[in-house]
Amino acid sequence: MIVNYEWDWDNNGTFDQTGASVNHTFDMAGTYNVQFRVTDDEGATDVLDTPLVITITPAQTGYTWDGEIEAILHSTCSPCHVNNSSGGVNLTTYQTMLDSDVVVPGQPMSSKLYTEIYQGKHLATPTSGELDMIYQWIEDGALEN
pTM: 0.57
CATH fold group of domain 2-56: Immunoglobulin-like (2.60.40)
Distance between the two ends of the chain, CA-based, in angstroms?
57
> Which is higher by pLDDT, 79 or 49?
49
For 95-127, how does the pLDDT look when each residue is reduced to its tens digit (9 = 90+)?
988 888 789 888 999 988 888 888 877 777 888
The full set of domain ranges for the chain reads 2-56, 65-139
What would you measure as the largest C-alpha separation in the chain, in angstroms? 68
For 72-101, how does the pLDDT look when each residue is reduced to its tens digit (9 = 90+)?
988 888 888 888 777 778 888 899 888 887
What are the respective helix, strand and coil percentages of the chain, to the nearest 5?
Answer: 35, 20, 50
